[in-house]
Structure 1
Amino acid sequence: MAEHPAYPVGLRLTGRKVVVLGGGQVAQRRLPALIAAGGDILLVSPTATPSVEAMVDAGELTWEKRPYAEGDLADAWYALIATSDTEANTLASAEAERHRVWCVRADDADAATAWTPATGTSEGVTVAVLTSDAKGRDPRHTAAIRDAVVEGLRDGTLVAPHHRTRTPGVALVGGGPGDPDLITVRGRRLLAEADVVITDHLGPRDLLAELPQGVEVIDAAKLPYGRFMAQEAINDALIEHARKGRSVVRLKGGDPFVYGRGMEEVQALAEAGIPCTVVPGISSSISVPGAAGIPVTHRGVAHEFTVVSGHIAPDDERSLVDWSALARLTGTLVILMGVGTIGKVAETLIAHGKSPDTPVALVQEGTTAAQRRVDATLATVAETVVAEEIKPPAVIVIGEVVTVGPNPSK
């Protein structure tokens, strides 16, 4: 048997009897996939690990608490033999051979009639890697190949174009705070499959260099529109390209729904009958402070954090923020888009009772190679922004958490 390679095949086990002998670590690793395949699973074992017991308690399989007995494999379609009793394994393997049941043996691959491949899944595709023969079996090598292929499919570095008709539509992808490695796996894969990418200046620009040739990249900041027509023009561009049958990715910085006007785009697409997928992103409101060594919450220091847009000054009649309420909070205040208004913000918070000595940190270009952190207080932050020439994008953190961790800028 070892002279010939194994024949790879996918077993359809839904509703079919599967017998697992042994309730130890091997069964614990293999059972989830058998359960996901829909098998009618019988576990035969005197004992089981707590994880396997939890699967039994959840009703995902039937457990008979006893050793293997002749006849256990009758009517089975597939068997996994993984007990610590070599004699019982040999007897069960012989029974499987007599009943023509495909059988995996955890203790002796040469004596098995089937081998379990190293498997992984990505968006409905299962990758299974098998060694060609028993003599050269190297589980770590096959697992490493599996991991490399699955990771490549997930993050888009291994591009496998769809050749059947794809459903055109738009994916609204949060690109994260700036570091290209902080985009989600799904977001990166959708980028690799896109025909058109509409991005803006806060999207992770380094990812655009990885796009396959032929992908049309549109800078949303350069679309032909007037100042107050920006969002409408972007909506029109998304609809136009999707209606041409293209797969469109709208790449945004951070998360699409955290000051990203993502819902406006979703609503416009829905009105136009265009399907839209939303892929959340890592918000700069949490990730940038973290990258600068600042936890937005910390035991005994801050039990809450509040994220506020600072693009409108507190004394502007268009402001929707209750600054007096924010001044009374004892937790952390995170301000996005507030470089130009931080002086007014600080004045307002102090006027409503916030201590002028409250620590403030300004983190510019967070998570990127250009990241820098500058510390101040509410009383000095306005002059610090000018003196240190702080420019957007920058995240401003106000509160005692600023002083909790080590300051890498010092």
Structure 2
Amino acid sequence: MSPVLPHGTLPPYPVVLPSAIAGAMPPFPAGCVWLVGAGPGDLGLLTLQAAWALAQAEVVFFDALVNEEVLRLAKGGCEFVFVGKRAGCPSPKQSEITARLIAAAQEGKRVVRLKGGDPYVFGRGAEEAQGLVAAGTPFRVASGVTAGIGGLAAAGIPVTHRDVNQAVTFITAHDASGKLSERLDWAALSAGSPVLVVYMGFRLMREIAARLLAAGRPEDEPCAVVSHASTPRQKVFVTTLGALVEGGGTDGAESPAILVFGRVVALAPVLSPAR
């Protein structure tokens, strides 16, 4: 029986790892939960551990940012459960998701919790892991390529360059309510990090740019908005901090998107890879 995918009935991709690699994979016993990173979108950026876990899974709880092509790596008969969270849309509470992971594992199933990017980078993976520990549910983390690195690389933007920056800071801009976080020290971030990478900041990008300007970043600092990073729908919008405050240079940009501020953005026209 082929898996019934949430948005279609595409056939699965069989995962057949060479025996030496398969033998090196950690065991996935019944009643265990794997927190798996699906990467930024490109199927080729999935890790071997992630592919191995999907091939063993009996139920997969997946997020809104997971590329459906990744789901096709699951074995026949796998159950798919959508538990995605999107800003401004009704979505399951985190406590409910964790409870469902625990319940599925207690039924003796091999459970994959599939998250876009990396589970522990602004992905609530650590919260779910804490819940699993409290319930006595065994788990493993299969790290993924985070969008702030792999997604920007696909756009030709390196997060570090020896001639440009010796530090980079990853930020999630909003708090639990979806508003711009008041816990962030914008002055310290502006002064302390030449490159800032902002996750889940698309709706707030003009406000973020205004905060950075007010904190002393120059108006002509290059910045970019990368929509649908590493996928066939990827679009890269390069502008300046001053223009971004007015929304300039971002016509056609859409969520999901990652924002990056700093002189590494100027390398995008040179380093943009062939697609």
TM-score category, normalised to shorter length? 0.7 to 0.9
AA aligned to 2:113 is R
Give structure 2 stretches of 5+ with no counterpart.
1-17
Specify the SS of the correspondent of 1:242: helix
Relative distance call for 1:382 and 1:239 in structure 2 (3 A) is: same
Which residue of the other structure, out of 318, 343, 350, is the alignment partner of 2:213? 350
Relative distance call for 1:330 and 1:213 in structure 2 (3 A) is: closer
Which residue of the other structure, out of 59, 63, 69, is the alignment partner of 1:206? 69
Q: Distance in 2 between matches of 1:334 and 1:215?
A: 36
Relative distance call for 1:325 and 1:170 in structure 2 (3 A) is: same
Map 1:254-273; keep pairs closer than 5 Å. Answer: 254-273=117-136
AA aligned to 1:124 is G
Relative distance call for 1:387 and 1:306 in structure 2 (3 A) is: closer
Q: Distance in 1 between matches of 2:33 and 2:60?
A: 10
AA aligned to 1:325 is A
Specify the SS of the correspondent of 2:259: strand
AA aligned to 2:21 is S
Q: Distance in 2 between matches of 1:383 and 1:209?
A: 41
Provide TM-score, normalisation by structure 2. Answer: 0.83
Give the aligned partner of residue 135 of structure 1. none
Q: Distance in 2 between matches of 1:220 and 1:323?
A: 32
Relative distance call for 1:268 and 1:183 in structure 2 (3 A) is: same
Map 1:198-237; keep pairs closer than 5 Å. Answer: 198-221=61-84, 230-237=93-100
Q: Quote the offset at 1:317 in angstroms.
A: 8.1
Q: Quote the offset at 1:319 in angstroms.
A: 2.6
Provide TM-score, normalisation by structure 1. Answer: 0.57
1:379 is aligned to 2:242: yes
Instruction: Indicate the structure (1 or 2) with the bigger Cα radius of gyration.
Output: 1
Q: Quote the offset at 1:183 in angstroms.
A: 1.1
1:369 is aligned to 2:232: yes
Which residue of the other structure, out of 203, 212, 222, is the alignment partner of 1:359? 222
1:196 is aligned to 2:85: no
Give the aligned partner of residue 103 of structure 2. 240
Map 1:106-125; keep pairs closer than 5 Å. Answer: 121-124=20-23
Q: Distance in 2 between matches of 1:330 and 1:259?
A: 19
Task: Confirm or deny: 8 A CA contact 1:339 1:385 kept in the other structure.
Answer: no
Which residue of the other structure, out of 299, 309, 312, is the alignment partner of 2:162? 299
AA aligned to 2:23 is G
Which residue of the other structure, out of 110, 125, 144, is the alignment partner of 1:281? 144
Task: Confirm or deny: 8 A CA contact 2:157 2:267 kept in the other structure.
Answer: yes
Give the aligned partner of residue 48 of structure 1. none
Give the aligned partner of residue 110 of structure 1. none
Specify the SS of the correspondent of 2:170: strand
Instruction: Provide, for residues 229-258 of structure 1, a one-character-per-residue CA deviation record: whole Å limited to 9, x for no partner.
Output: 511111111011101000000000000011
Sequence identity of aligned pairs in percent? 37
Q: Quote the offset at 1:220 in angstroms.
A: 0.7
Instruction: Provide, for residues 49-99 of structure 1, a one-character-per-residue CA deviation record: whole Å limited to 9, x for no partner.
Output: xxxxxxxxxxxxxxxxxxxxxxxxxxxxxxxxxxxxxxxxxxxxxxxxxxx
1:175 is aligned to 2:74: no
Task: Confirm or deny: 8 A CA contact 2:83 2:91 kept in the other structure.
Answer: no
Q: Quote the offset at 1:228 in angstroms.
A: 7.8
Q: Quote the offset at 1:227 in angstroms.
A: 5.2
Give structure 1 stretches of 5+ with no counterpart.
1-118, 126-153, 155-161
Specify the SS of the correspondent of 1:335: strand
Give the aligned partner of residue 112 of structure 2. 249
1:334 is aligned to 2:197: yes
